[in-house]
Structure 1
């Protein structure tokens, strides 16, 4: 552990680790010193071992996120254990509207990929342990207990290995999630809107292969997303994200496995075949949360600490990852120009660069959820007609697909 770092990243999860990984080549070239502080113990270092689990939580990566991870240099390893999405089927329960997207028609290898979170985290950590990442210190388990402002640096109080340490950093990046206590300690406010819904998350097995098809099914009680997963042994697996009104979640969580599968079929139908097994269920409340500030002098708020959105379009992590590489590119430019990494002018430039993407992506998720949760018959007719019209219009479908894949946002050069 050093007494001073150029960049101190609070949070070693997928967002924080991706930022550190994105800065490896340029950081080595420019002599950047970086610390990643994580409150939970990291997996034991060593060989890159995949540990399959039926109940593993997963994340949907857009095709644009693949391009980012290719540039960062971890895609080949990630690709060993993930599931490509070849088709997306969007439908509105009880109505005629349907849209189908196909990877081959959009001239891409896949519309997206579904990766287990623990595998993504293991791959990123493995990259940070390589010899060319010696300028990055992994401090874990450790906790940042306070951050304060100095003239040219940030003062950081850190608890590590039973002792309190005082460090400084030109820039502190908060990537410690949506329940960031540090964000509240620093007085960074946020706007929050409850959707009065919960997301129920579980893995469910069809009797036959999922054929790499993802489904988005809008129902009168909320959308259901089914994401194809890598098989676990003889079990075919699909990741289910089921949006439920707050007042229904306890009842559905308490159903037996057989009752739960029956309820899923009643809501979703049999497009993915008959379900024969369901795993452990989890639920969490859904809300739109936006930090009032994403940058201050010496400070950046990143990922869920900056914004959390409805999972309806599966864009939350992809949006965060685009923010990661935008910040990495800006930090590289600042160091090349000899600018203090905490200077507000260049951090504000980063904030301006990602503002449009965030507004578009968050707005789309929010408006789509509200449109497809509305029981007004005229709106219902209009949205079904819109889905059907898109299905019949290749140009409209391509525009929508490219946006969903994150291909309408340029990937910056991190060399």
Structure 2
């Protein structure tokens, strides 16, 4: 999704004489003239949380209207600490926004991106196709491709966005650091007795954060939320193997009754958590982006939204470089992008890294300080507004 978003943004920002090629190992569905993808909501659909900054970015390239009809707005966010008095409620009262963020099912987000990609007709798509090797030089990058549209391809700039375990990044010898959290993220959709009313919940516990994000209704469940539950590997294995009844009972004990009784759990997925960070994100002719550049803890759903802000900034810098007659792969151009995004990346990475650990510490004085800080946000509107701006990503966009 990051790669398509970048290709779409470049097609919107760069002159028509600049060629753009998207290489994707997954086979894209072929477009049908005059056909729009159908929306097939399902109880178990995986989803992505989009911040308000991501809405602004997708509006810039004309994609937002196709997304907006099938997403669920986050109108309020309730943040609490289990077993403590500290809590706060964030809403749009101090902003002129319709929502703090949005939750969209991945299937629809992917379909909307692919459909828009084919409709604009600017980007050459090679799918299914894989990069076997990449060689950089002063004149650009040479790629060796495998697949139905294989062969060789030369480019002035290669953007690597093939995931946290990026094989292309590794083959290029780009350094990466990894910090294991010794935790797992457990993902599932939950049906609840009471409506979420557009409210997201971020509940911190001594064992890790737990989030419930609002989802649109489906025929199987009028009230549906997306669960992101951080657990130890041992507890994760138990929960993955448990019956639906036991799972819901343990989740109810951890989350509480803010949405009433939890009535159903869908397919469960889990994956190990670690902070992956690429300190060298640019070199001559190469940019590393998305999870290949930084894969974050899922707390507050910052990873994909940070990647979209990277996308928007890179497109803006490259458009400026073309106007100035600079090469798209010139190191000084790419370092300009890196400098401009460095502060946003550092803030977001530190926020996602430190926040869960802060609430997992058992020190009673620190716990009291956390409670007072959370509750104090409700009495300090300016500080609360700044916190919401940062969480929504608009501080980085200068909104």
Calculate the TM-score normalised by the size of structure 1. Answer: 0.93
Indicate yes or no: 2:189 matched with 1:203: yes
Trace 1:312-351 onto structure 2 (pairs within 5 A).
Answer: 312-351=299-338
Q: Which residue of 1 aligns with 2:212?
A: 226
1:135 CA drift (Å): 2.9
RMSD: 1.4
> 5 Å matches for 1:235-274?
235=221, 236-274=223-261
Partner of 2:360: 373
Structure 1 residues 345-369: Cα deviation after superposition (integer angstroms, max 9, x where no partner):
0000000000000001111111111
2:43 — aligned with what? 54
CA contact (8 A) 1:38 1:141 kept: yes
Larger mean CA deviation between 203-212 and 350-359 belongs to 203-212
Task: Give the aligned length.
Answer: 395
The answer to whether the 8 A contact 2:10-2:315 is kept is yes
Q: Distance in 1 between matches of 2:372 and 2:351?
A: 18
Measure, in 1, the Cα distance between the counterparts of 2:397 and 2:103: 22
Q: How far off its partner does 1:390 sit?
A: 1.0
The match for 2:263 among 266, 276, 282 is 276
Q: Residues of 2 paired with 1:57 and 1:148: CA distance?
A: 36
Gaps of 5+ in 2: none
Which residue number corresponds to residue 2 of structure 2? 15
Q: Please give the residue correspondences for 1:65-214 in structure 2 after superposition, counting only pairs within 5 Å.
A: 65-130=54-119, 133-161=120-148, 164-214=150-200
Query: Which has the larger displacement, 282-291 or 99-108?
Result: 99-108
Q: Secondary structure at the match of 1:251?
A: helix
- In 1, Cα distance between the equivalents of 2:96 and 2:6? 29
Instruction: Work out whether 1:362 is the aligned partner of 2:349.
Output: yes
Distance 2:150 2:397 in 1: 42
| Partner residue of 2:379 out of 385, 388, 392 | 392
* Structure 1: gaps (5+ residues): 1-13
How far apart are the structure 1 equivalents of 2:317 and 2:13? Answer: 12
CA distance in 2, matches of 1:354, 1:301: 13
Contact 2:194-2:260 at 8 Å conserved across structures: yes
Cα deviation, residue 117, structure 1:
1.2
How far did residue 247 of structure 1 move? 2.1
Deviation, structure 1 residue 263: 0.6
- Kindly provide the CA deviation profile for residues 254-280 of structure 1, in whole angstroms up to 9, marking residues without a partner as x: 111111111111001001121111100
State TM-score, norm by structure 2: 0.96
- Between 118-127 and 196-205, report the one with greater CA deviation: 118-127
**d(CA) in 2 for partners of 1:246, 1:297:** 40
Aligned to 1:23, the other structure's residue is in SS state: helix
Runs of 4+ in 1 over 6 A off after TM superposition: none
